[in-house]
Chains A and B, each alone.
Chain A
Amino acid sequence: MKKIGVIVFPGTNCDRDVFYVLSEVMHLETEYVWHNRQSLDGFSGLVLPGGFSYGDRLRAGAIAAHSPVIYEVKRMAKDGVPVLGICNGFQILIESGLLPGALVKNEHLNFACKWVDAKVKNTSTPFTKLFEKNQKIRMPIAHGEGRYVAGGSTIKELIQNDQIVLSFLNENPNGSLESIASICNPEGNVVGMMPHPERASELVLSPVADSIDGLTIFLSLVHFLDDTYMK
């Protein structure tokens, strides 16, 4: 069976939302994973939801990146298990070294909560495989520290290896380099993104008619897992 783990740290606050979309909208077997858990055997996918783990103390994601469960996340990631970090989850993946670069305070210094346009640049990850290349999608962001920065060589590598998964379109809401909204590891199974797909997974919550692009991200995961299990 495909079972998805939703990893919860003290201060995570989008865990219930992600859990709801996976279990109630997608009808997947979903389980909360508390941060001190030692083994993640039996999970075929992992999501690190958004929020303010440890109140963003030190730096966003810095303390959570040293939780016991992260060692297990790293092991699973190495084995090719799909791992998605959303917002604070993205920050944790970066702080734990699973993804390169850094996420710093938004350029305008304010928290930003709004729906934004993005372009899908990489459609080979487990979370984007159902999109068309360069498809324009719309999802909400909600963060104070989402400005992606990295050294010139890292940015070059990201571009060369096709590791930029989503980039902001029309407006760069936080000042990210290359308008980066989402990146993945070189293997593509670990993806971090600032937009919240769980908030764009039901029509009734979408301010854009007929657009629930967030759901496609979770559908892609199911598609990917089906393929993997078929093999």
Chain B
Amino acid sequence: MKVCGRELSVLTKAEFSRLKKSLNRHPTETELQMVAAEWSEHCSYKSSKKYISRLPVSGARIGNDSGFDAGLIEIGNDLVLSIRIESHNHPSAIEPYGGAATGVGGVIRDILSVGTRPIALMNGLRFGDINGHDSTVNQHTRWLLRNVVRGISDYGNCIGVPTVGGELEFDSSFNYYCLVDVVCIGLGKTNEIIANLADIDDLLFLVGGSTGRDGIHGAEFASAGLVHENRSAVQIPDPFLKKTLIEAILEANKNRYIKAMKDLGGGGLACCLSETSHNLGKGFDVDLSHVRLREEGMSPTEILISESQERMLLIVGQENRELLEEIFAKYEIDFSIIGKVCSGQKIKIRHNSEVIADIPAHIVTCAPLLNRKSARPSYLKRKYGPRMDSPSDLGSILLEMLRRPNICNRSWIYEQYDSEVGLRTVLKPGEGDSSVLRLGDGKYVALSIDGNSRRCYFDPYQGTLGCISEAVRNVICSGASPVGLIDHLQFGSPEDPEIFWTFEQAVAAIKDYCDFFSLPVIGGKVSFYNEKNGLPIKPTPVIGAIGIGNNLEKVAKARLDTRCSIFLIGHTREELGGSEYYASSHRTDSGNIPMLHLAEDKRNALAVSNLISSGVVKCVHDCSKGGIAIALAEVAINGNTGFDIDISLASNTCNRIDRLMFSESNSRYVVATERPEELIEILRDSRSQVHCSMLGYASDSSANDTIQYRGGQKILVNLELEKLKVAYNNSLESRLDDVRV
């Protein structure tokens, strides 16, 4: 059978015979396509489910999230936060504008479908070389980056949800490809969370966009390596419709007209109907001739699996039908009633009078899980550290590091996003280590997402631990207490045992961290088949940490003030594997990657939390890419204030001063205070046994400022602050300026 001129993908032989056995008959063509969509890797998690089900999900603050598309956290005062992470990698790699925009659209619907208002977006973006010698790669990377950002900007800005932060990484394993991860948080009232219940004869409303041929086979398209550029698998965004849909649905929900709700995403109506029916434990009777179409001559199968955007399925009691219709009329939103809830647990799908599917929902939704082989990658056997002499001019190396695409200022990107609509954004992008949004009564949520594909390539277990630690550190830096994690596990093909091994390691790291810190995983996603022309990406788990703070007055920023003493909390080891310094100066990724010492990580985090809550420090910044040297430069640039420090005073076990400056050891924080004695007192009193080193002082005034790094009496770097600013601020912009849209 052909749809849009393409042969429809079908099940494997084993899956087909399993389906036949459970049905006790041959499936109809429509049933087969419904099952194929739902049993795709993208929808069924057939390779990963066994692993991710081991992650801890329950915690004191987690609401009951059965059947919900977003994770929920109760935050007191009858308020609930919802959170969701999604990606749109394949679509963005071939059509960056539409792919990124619909990625935002999808995650917004997940937040909406639990009855919460989306209040903030973040994104994690990964691209190929922007710096390398191959100009074709560079050009392609720029084209992708520019259009992904424009897609997110046009969509997010229009729907009035602020994009408050994110992260960006460049690595050659993403050449001709990209990762576009989107996080959305929502806020709602406990008693307005969708009940997700249904009764016999309730109506099925299909609301919002009409159904067309766009996005046919998006789910299966995302469940294979990217070889052909199948543009019809990319959906078309309509942010204006989304904005009115958000308002209409929230108004209907406030009036309690909606009993259950689900968004239409991967696998379209087919997956939406079967998953909803299965979750509710009720049957559906649906007539596809009632679906509003935007194209003529669509076959019933095309209608079922289309992934056209901006559509939601609502289950509504007969008694509220007219009231709901009035709300849709007010917002000028189209809808149709496509069927109703019935007894039993079967989905019956008709097209006019003909029954084309009649299948128990659980058969569609319970895909047979797979046992994938795993093997430790052979590339890990190679081990060599770079043999390079200490560089003589550390100043020019520092400037070069500040210019690196993985470090430099990201304002070219975030200034294209409306980051303030909604009046919640306390820390603007770039002001602090995490995004901070006020929730009312002094309460706030802090959010950070982090990934590091280079480290995870060399050690997926330690690399993943490092990502989690960094995300949590960022939340700590703003003065919040972590309450949960989200994860997005992105890899190449799970059919490759070496890739699958890296996936297992990443999951093990998340589990071990969560167990040690008693943190739950509030939501997550797995995305396999991130490959272009058979070349897989490096393992890329992206971790989000969510924290709650209770005192907005004490939110710390990554900004140095004049007349402060500068301290480093934490210990530096010679851990430069996968570091920016090695990539920059030694053109290599190898060496020892940073190990996470869980107990030390916890001690340092608690100590910094104490210092912030006591009000002693107002400037806190996490040491990550580029190590202490870059962390100090960043707080100086943000605060427009220079400093004079002796780096050899930092607690360390490094053999060389350049390695001490740029090592990327975990669990370290730069803090600055006007009351150094109090800081020392607090750390001593709490017996926290953390490594705390006083490095030096910020300048007395910000006129004609310089930064100075010393090693004992020896001056290592002495530069005007202005030079650092130029290197840091203009780097990304100068790389992207010359590109046409």
* Bound pair (A, B): yes
Residues of A within 8 A of B (CB): 10-11, 13-14, 16-17, 20-21, 34, 50-52, 54-57, 109-115, 140, 142, 144, 196, 198-199, 202, 204-205, 207
Provide the bound-state CA to CA distance between A202 and B426, in Å: 10
28 residue pairs bridging A and B, Cβ less than 8 Å apart: A10-B244, A11-B158, A11-B243, A11-B244, A14-B421, A21-B423, A50-B421, A51-B160, A52-B157, A52-B158, A52-B240, A55-B241, A111-B154, A111-B415, A111-B417, A112-B415, A113-B414, A113-B415, A113-B416, A113-B419, A113-B420, A142-B418, A142-B421, A199-B420, A205-B423, A205-B425, A205-B426, A207-B431
Is B384 at the interface (CB under 8 A from chain A)? Answer: no
A13 and B416 contacting across the interface, CB-CB below 8 Å: no
B420 and A55 contacting across the interface, CB-CB below 8 Å: no
Is B332 at the interface (CB under 8 A from chain A)? Answer: yes
Which residue of A has the minimal Cβ distance to B438? A204
B244 and A109 contacting across the interface, CB-CB below 8 Å: no
- Write out the residue numbers on chain B whose beta carbons fall within 8 Å of the beta carbon of A34: 330
Which of B157, B159, B426 has the most chain A CB within a 10 Å cutoff? B157
- Write out the residue numbers on chain B whose beta carbons fall within 8 Å of the beta carbon of A140: 420
User: What mask results when residues 468 to 511 of chain B are scored 1 for a CB within 8 Å of chain A, else 0?
Assistant: 00000000000000000000000000000000000000000000
Give chain B interface residues in 431-459, CB to chain A under 8 Å: 431, 438
- Write out the residue numbers on chain B whose beta carbons fall within 8 Å of the beta carbon of A199: 420, 423
B416 and A111 contacting across the interface, CB-CB below 8 Å: yes
Is B239 at the interface (CB under 8 A from chain A)? Answer: yes
- Write out the residue numbers on chain A whose beta carbons fall within 8 Å of the beta carbon of B240: 10-11, 52, 54-57
Provide the bound-state CA to CA distance between A146 and B425, in Å: 23
Provide the bound-state CA to CA distance between A196 and B421, in Å: 10
CB distance from B338 to the nearest CB of A (A): 24
Provide the bound-state CA to CA distance between A207 and B428, in Å: 8
Which residue of B has the minimal Cβ distance to A50? B421
CB distance from A89 to the nearest CB of B (A): 14
B420 and A10 contacting across the interface, CB-CB below 8 Å: no
Is B579 at the interface (CB under 8 A from chain A)? Answer: no
Contacts A111-B417, A199-B423 supplied; 18 other A-B pairs, CB < 8 Å: A10-B240, A17-B421, A17-B423, A51-B160, A52-B160, A52-B239, A55-B240, A110-B415, A111-B154, A113-B414, A113-B416, A113-B417, A113-B419, A142-B157, A142-B418, A142-B420, A142-B421, A199-B420
CB distance from B310 to the nearest CB of A (A): 12
Our count of residue pairs bridging A and B at CB distance below 8 angstroms stands at 85
A13 and B420 contacting across the interface, CB-CB below 8 Å: no
- Write out the residue numbers on chain B whose beta carbons fall within 8 Å of the beta carbon of A111: 153-154, 157, 415-418
Which residue of A has the minimal Cβ distance to B240? A55
- Write out the residue numbers on chain A whose beta carbons fall within 8 Å of the beta carbon of B243: 10-11, 13, 52, 55
- Write out the residue numbers on chain A whose beta carbons fall within 8 Å of the beta carbon of B414: 113
Provide the bound-state CA to CA distance between A196 and B332, in Å: 28
- Write out the residue numbers on chain A whose beta carbons fall within 8 Å of the beta carbon of B332: 10
Is B741 at the interface (CB under 8 A from chain A)? Answer: yes
Is B349 at the interface (CB under 8 A from chain A)? Answer: no
Is B422 at the interface (CB under 8 A from chain A)? Answer: yes
Which residue of A has the minimal Cβ distance to B244? A10
A109 and B741 contacting across the interface, CB-CB below 8 Å: yes
CB distance from A165 to the nearest CB of B (A): 22
- Write out the residue numbers on chain A whose beta carbons fall within 8 Å of the beta carbon of B425: 205
CB distance from A60 to the nearest CB of B (A): 11
Provide the bound-state CA to CA distance between A20 and B431, in Å: 25
* Residue tally, chain B, CB below 8 Å to A: 33
Provide the bound-state CA to CA distance between A175 and B340, in Å: 56
User: What mask results when residues 617 to 641 of chain B are scored 1 for a CB within 8 Å of chain A, else 0?
Assistant: 0000000000000000000000000
CB distance from A86 to the nearest CB of B (A): 12
Is B331 at the interface (CB under 8 A from chain A)? Answer: yes
Provide the bound-state CA to CA distance between A175 and B153, in Å: 20
CB distance from B158 to the nearest CB of A (A): 4
Which residue of B has the minimal Cβ distance to A115? B428
- Write out the residue numbers on chain B whose beta carbons fall within 8 Å of the beta carbon of A16: 422
Is B315 at the interface (CB under 8 A from chain A)? Answer: no
Which residue of B has the minimal Cβ distance to A8? B247
A55 and B418 contacting across the interface, CB-CB below 8 Å: no
B420 and A196 contacting across the interface, CB-CB below 8 Å: yes
Which residue of B has the minimal Cβ distance to A55? B240
Provide the bound-state CA to CA distance between A52 and B420, in Å: 15
User: Which residue in B330, B415, B421, B423 is a CB contact (below 8 Å) of A114?
Assistant: B415
Provide the bound-state CA to CA distance between A50 and B160, in Å: 10
Provide the bound-state CA to CA distance between A207 and B436, in Å: 13
For the complex of A and B, 7 pairs with smallest distance between CB atoms? A13-B160, A55-B240, A52-B158, A142-B418, A111-B416, A17-B423, A199-B420
B157 and A110 contacting across the interface, CB-CB below 8 Å: no
CB distance from B438 to the nearest CB of A (A): 7
- Write out the residue numbers on chain A whose beta carbons fall within 8 Å of the beta carbon of B415: 110-114
CB distance from B246 to the nearest CB of A (A): 10
- Write out the residue numbers on chain B whose beta carbons fall within 8 Å of the beta carbon of A56: 158, 240
Is B552 at the interface (CB under 8 A from chain A)? Answer: yes
Which residue of B has the minimal Cβ distance to A34? B330
- Write out the residue numbers on chain A whose beta carbons fall within 8 Å of the beta carbon of B416: 110-113
A20 and B421 contacting across the interface, CB-CB below 8 Å: no
B421 and A10 contacting across the interface, CB-CB below 8 Å: no
Give chain B interface residues in 77-103, CB to chain A under 8 Å: none
- Write out the residue numbers on chain B whose beta carbons fall within 8 Å of the beta carbon of A114: 411, 415
B331 and A55 contacting across the interface, CB-CB below 8 Å: no
A10 and B160 contacting across the interface, CB-CB below 8 Å: no
User: Which residue in A20, A54, A205 is a CB contact (below 8 Å) of B420?
Assistant: A205
- Write out the residue numbers on chain B whose beta carbons fall within 8 Å of the beta carbon of A52: 157-158, 160, 239-240, 243
CB distance from A85 to the nearest CB of B (A): 17
Provide the bound-state CA to CA distance between A57 and B240, in Å: 9
Provide the bound-state CA to CA distance between A10 and B251, in Å: 14
CB distance from B247 to the nearest CB of A (A): 8
- Write out the residue numbers on chain A whose beta carbons fall within 8 Å of the beta carbon of B438: 204-205
Provide the bound-state CA to CA distance between A55 and B238, in Å: 9
- Write out the residue numbers on chain B whose beta carbons fall within 8 Å of the beta carbon of A196: 420
- Write out the residue numbers on chain A whose beta carbons fall within 8 Å of the beta carbon of B154: 111
Provide the bound-state CA to CA distance between A17 and B424, in Å: 10
CB distance from A228 to the nearest CB of B (A): 29
Which residue of A has the minimal Cβ distance to B156? A111
CB distance from B404 to the nearest CB of A (A): 23
CB distance from B683 to the nearest CB of A (A): 28
- Write out the residue numbers on chain A whose beta carbons fall within 8 Å of the beta carbon of B157: 52, 111, 142, 144
- Write out the residue numbers on chain A whose beta carbons fall within 8 Å of the beta carbon of B159: 13
Which of B331, B332, B421, B423 has the most chain A CB within a 10 Å cutoff? B423
Which residue of B has the minimal Cβ distance to A15? B160
CB distance from B442 to the nearest CB of A (A): 9
- Write out the residue numbers on chain A whose beta carbons fall within 8 Å of the beta carbon of B153: 110-111
- Write out the residue numbers on chain A whose beta carbons fall within 8 Å of the beta carbon of B428: 115, 207
User: Which residue in B158, B411, B552 is a CB contact (below 8 Å) of A204?
Assistant: B552
- Write out the residue numbers on chain A whose beta carbons fall within 8 Å of the beta carbon of B426: 204-205
Provide the bound-state CA to CA distance between A207 and B555, in Å: 12
Provide the bound-state CA to CA distance between A34 and B327, in Å: 13
CB distance from B262 to the nearest CB of A (A): 24
User: What mask results when residues 221 to 263 of chain B are scored 1 for a CB within 8 Å of chain A, else 0?
Assistant: 0000000000000000011110110000000000000000000
User: What mask results when residues 523 to 554 of chain B are scored 1 for a CB within 8 Å of chain A, else 0?
Assistant: 00000000000000000000000000000100
- Write out the residue numbers on chain A whose beta carbons fall within 8 Å of the beta carbon of B421: 13-14, 17, 50, 142
Provide the bound-state CA to CA distance between A16 and B157, in Å: 15
User: What mask results when residues 315 to 353 of chain B are scored 1 for a CB within 8 Å of chain A, else 0?
Assistant: 000000000000000111000000000000000000000
CB distance from A126 to the nearest CB of B (A): 23
Which residue of B has the minimal Cβ distance to A54? B240
